[in-house]
Amino acid sequence: MNDAVGIADAKMDAVSGVGEHVPDEGSRDGRPAAIELTIPAQARFVASARLVAAALAADLSFSIDDIEELRIGVDEALTLLIEAQPAGASIRVVFTIGDERPGRLTIEGASLEPSATPMRPAVDALVRRILDAVTDAFEVHADRFVLHKEATHAASSK
């Protein structure tokens, strides 16, 4: 993939509930609201996923500290996934609001390359400590990750 075209190829696909604030409800039809982002598997595009995560967390009234923790978690998890990808690969990141509880944001990242090398099955101790500290729960699988984060207090309380 041509790097100059890479940013243009990064796309956000609104699945439901995007562009309107639907506090703590997911989408209007009762299903969780989700945004799908497809990015080239290159470190320079991780910022796009961090930006989407931060914007959604702010919309859910996450505190500034919660938003920063979420950004760190997205960065760490995507870095793990990117390291396992062959050149020219892409990654899908899905941000889901209201999947289990109001105010909860779930972020799932997965390789779009069937031939990608499986991620390190054992996350090193430092990355595990970071993910433990900045997320409520996380899972790292051979070809994907899942992060969960809930607002601990409203952004306006600071």
* Cα separations in angstroms, 62 against 52, 66, 79, 87, 154: 14, 6, 24, 36, 6
Superfamily of 32-157 according to CATH: Histidine kinase-like ATPase, C-terminal domain (3.30.565.10)
User: What confidence tens digit (pLDDT) does each residue in 21-68 have?
Assistant: 344 444 555 667 899 999 999 999 999 999 999 999 999 999 999 999
pLDDT exceeding 70 applies to what percent of the chain?
71
User: What confidence tens digit (pLDDT) does each residue in 119-131 have?
Assistant: 665 678 899 899 9
Helical (H) or strand (E) element with 72: helix 64-83
Sketch the domain layout of the chain as residue ranges. 32-157
User: What confidence tens digit (pLDDT) does each residue in 73-112 have?
Assistant: 999 999 989 988 888 999 999 999 975 677 899 999 999 9
* Residues paired with residue 93 on neighbouring β-strands, in sequence order: 37, 109
